[in-house]
Chain A
C-alpha cells in the first residue's frame, strides 16, 4: 500500500484538482488491495497444493509399509515347472481369419 502511494505520488499530476486526486487515490487503493488479495490467494493455493502432495506421498509410504507386514512369503507353493512335466501330444495353431483395417491419417493443412 505504501509502495502504491509512492507510485501515486509519482503519477498523479501535481496540478490535479482535489476531487480528481481523491478519485485517483481511491482507484490506486482498490488496485493495491486487489493485488495483495490475489497474491495471498495464490500463496494459500500453493500451500494447499503442497499440503495435498505431502499428504498423498505420506499416505502412500505409510500404506506401503503397512502392507509389507501382511502376507509375507506368499510365493508359489508348488514348483510345477519341475514337478509336473508336460508331454505335449497335440500342438495346433490354425489361422482362421485375417482382418485389415485402414484409417486415413488426418493432416493439418495449415
Chain B
C-alpha cells in the first residue's frame, strides 16, 4: 500500500514538522520551509496523491485478524506493518517518517489540524517539572530511557458546532429570618423560575478514537481553536498519527447528552440571588449542527508499574498535563511509619509534659 514521505526541496531527505520553529525542517541540510513553500513545490503532487489514493475499505484479514496493514517505506524499501488506525509512523529500520496516505483519504481525510507547538525537549522538561515535586515516584520513572519513550501523536477528534434552543424550569427559594422579644420568624418565598434561549456551542471536542483512554483524550483539552489550520499530511511528518475509528452516528447521542448537561449549567448560572434552586426540567433541541474531523497534537507516555499501565498525556499545543502517576507505596509506607513515630513521640511526651 501507498506510504509517502515529504521530501526536502534542496536535498530530497525526509522532512519533519518542527514544533519549535513551526516550520518543516530538514535534519540533513538544515533547511526550513513554510507550508506555502511546500505547497507551491509539492502542491500538485499532494493533489495527485489525494486523487490516486483509494480510501482503505475493509483491511485485508491477516493471520491475527487485527486489521493491520503492510506498507513499503519509500526511503529504504522495508516493509512496515501498521495497526489499523495508524496513519503516520516511523520506519523501524531507517526511522524515517512514513505517512500512510490511504488512511487519510476520502471520508477519512481530516478537515483541520492543530500543529504541534511544544517540541519534544520542551515536553520532556515540562513533564520533568510536573513530576519533580513528587517525592514518591518509582526510582526509574524519571530516567532518560523512560523520558525517551515520550511520543508525539496526532489524535483524531470530532469538533462539533451546534446551535441549540432550550429552556430550564426551576423552583427557587429565598429565606429571611428575624426575631422580636418573644418570637423567631422565618419567611420562605418560593419562586417559579424559567430561563430560555439559544446557545451556540463552538468547537466542542469529542474523541474519535474508541480504543484510547477516554479520560486522557478528554482532559488534555482545551485546545486554542484559533490555531486550527486546513489539514495537510505534511504536518504529520515526524510524528505518529491515528485515524478515527468512529462515525458521527456512533457518538451523536453521547455528544447530545454532554451538550445538554452544559446547557443546564449555562442556564443555571443565570439564576442568582436565591438561597436554594431545584431544577425541575431541562429541554434542549438542535437548530443547526456541523461536524468537523480534526487532528490534535498530544505528547504521550506510558509506564508499567506493578503490572498496571499508567498513561501520561500532555496537550501538544498548550502544555496542559493529564495523567495518573505511579506511587511507590513502599517508600510512602516508610514515610508514614516515620511520621507516625515522630508524631506519637510529640503528642505523648508533649501531653505528659503539659500535665
Interface residues of A (CB under 8 A from B): 43, 46-47, 50-51, 53-55, 57-59, 61-62, 65-66, 68-75, 77-80, 83-105
Contact = CB atoms under 8 A, between A and B. Distances in A.
Contact of B270 (A58, A78, A86, A94): A86
Nearest to B216: A73
A94 B191 contact: yes
B324 A98 contact: no
Interface residues of B, dominant DSSP: mixed
A62 B332 contact: yes
Interface residues of A, dominant DSSP: mixed
Nearest to A58: B340
A107 to B, nearest CB: 8
Given A80-B262, A90-B196, A98 B188 contact: yes
B152 interface: no
Nearest to B342: A54
B335 interface: yes
Contacts of A72: 130, 321-325
- The listed residue with most B CB atoms (<10 A of its CB), out of A46, A53, A73, A105, is A73
Given A73-B220, A86-B197, 7 more contacts: A47-B348, A54-B343, A83-B201, A83-B204, A84-B204, A86-B198, A104-B182
Contacts of B172: 93
B344 interface: yes
15 contacts: A46-B355, A55-B340, A57-B343, A62-B335, A69-B326, A72-B322, A75-B320, A79-B222, A87-B200, A88-B195, A90-B195, A99-B187, A100-B185, A103-B186, A104-B183
A71 B336 CA distance: 22
B94 interface: no
Interface in B245-296: 262, 265-267, 270
Contact of A83 (B167, B188, B202): B202
A88 B326 CA distance: 46
Contacts of B42: none
A98 B176 CA distance: 11
A90 B185 contact: no
Contact of B347 (A50, A83, A84): A50
Contacts of A58: 336, 339-340, 343
A75 B192 contact: no
